[in-house]
C-alpha cells in the first residue's frame, strides 16, 4: 500500500482492516497516556485492554537506527451505541548511541501492523460482539537477529508493561 503524504500508516491500516472485518464503524486514536490497568470508571464504561508486540525499527536524529523484536503496543477499546473506539499507545525506546533521552516512536511496516490489527479484531469480536467462536490466530513468531533487549532503554519496561515472555504471549484484561 503506497503511503499518502500527511496520513498515518496505523490509521490507514486500521481503517482498511476494520472496513473489511467489522460491520460497524470503528475509529482509532493515539493516546500516549493510557495505562496497563483500567480504573473502575473505565471498566464500567466498557473499556477493555489488549497488549501485544511487533517487530519494528527505531530511528534517532543522531543517525543511529536499530531493529527491535519487542515493540510493545497497548490498546484500550470499547463498543458503544453501534460504534467502536480504539486507543493506541506504541511504546518507545531510547537511543544507546547519543544523549537524546527522548522515547523514540517505533516504525512498524504495514504487514506487521496488519498482523497486530488482525489479533486486535479477534479480541474485539470476542469481547465486544460476544462471539465465542472467534479463534485468535497463533502468532507466527519468526526468529530475527536483533541485539538483546535493553530494559534500561525501553519505555514499556520502565512502566512495567514489557517483560521477557511478552513476545510469545498475549495478555488481555
Structural domain of 92:
9-172
Query: Do the domain assignments include residue 84?
Result: yes
Task: Report, as an integer, the average pLDDT of 107-115.
Answer: 93
Query: Do the domain assignments include residue 104?
Result: yes
If you compute the radius of gyration of the chain from its CA atoms, what whole number of angstroms results? Answer: 16
Query: Do the domain assignments include residue 68?
Result: yes
Query: Do the domain assignments include residue 56?
Result: yes
Q: What is the pLDDT of residue 169?
A: 39
Q: CA-CA distance, 173 to 171, in Å (whole number)?
A: 7
In this model, does residue 168 exceed pLDDT 60? no
DSSP-based three-state secondary structure for 152: helix
Give the number of domains in the chain.
Answer: 1
Query: Do the domain assignments include residue 4?
Result: no
Contact 141, 168 (CB under 8 A): yes
pLDDT in tens, 76-101: 999 999 999 999 999 999 999 987 88
Query: Do the domain assignments include residue 2?
Result: no
Q: What is the pLDDT of residue 156?
A: 92
Average pLDDT over the chain reads: 85
Query: Do the domain assignments include residue 50?
Result: yes
pLDDT in tens, 12-68: 999 999 999 999 999 999 999 999 999 999 999 999 999 999 999 999 999 999 998
Query: Do the domain assignments include residue 3?
Result: no
Q: CA-CA distance, 25 to 92, in Å (whole number)?
A: 29
What is the full DSSP assignment across 81-128?
TTEEEEEEEE--B--SSSS--S-BPPB--HHHHHHHHHHHHHHHHHHH
pTM for this entry = 0.84
Amino acid at each position: 500500500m503506497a503511503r499518502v503524504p500527511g496520513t498515518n500508516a496505523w490509521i490507514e491500516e486500521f481503517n482498511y482492516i476494520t472496513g473489511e472485518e467489522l460491520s460497524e464503524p470503528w475509529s482509532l486514536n493515539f493516546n500516549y497516556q493510557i495505562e496497563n490497568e483500567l480504573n473502575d470508571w473505565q471498566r464500567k464504561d466498557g473499556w477493555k485492554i489488549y497488549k501485544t508486540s511487533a517487530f519494528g525499527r527505531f530511528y534517532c536524529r543522531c543517525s543511529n537506527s536499530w531493529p527491535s523484536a519487542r515493540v510493545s503496543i497497548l490498546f484500550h477499546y470499547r463498543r458503544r451505541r453501534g460504534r467502536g473506539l480504539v486507543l493506541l499507545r506504541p511504546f518507545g525506546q531510547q537511543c544507546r548511541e547519543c544523549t537524546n533521552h527522548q522515547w523514540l516512536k517505533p516504525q512498524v511496516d504495514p504487514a506487521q501492523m496488519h498482523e497486530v490489527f488482525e489479533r486486535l479484531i479477534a479480541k474485539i469480536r470476542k469481547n465486544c460482539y460476544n462471539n465465542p467462536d472467534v479463534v485468535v490466530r497463533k502468532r507466527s513468531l519468526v526468529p530475527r537477529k536483533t541485539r538483546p533487549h535493553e530494559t534500561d532503554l525501553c519505555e514499556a519496561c520502565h512502566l512495567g508493561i514489557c517483560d521477557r515472555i511478552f513476545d510469545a504471549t498475549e495478555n488481555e484484561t
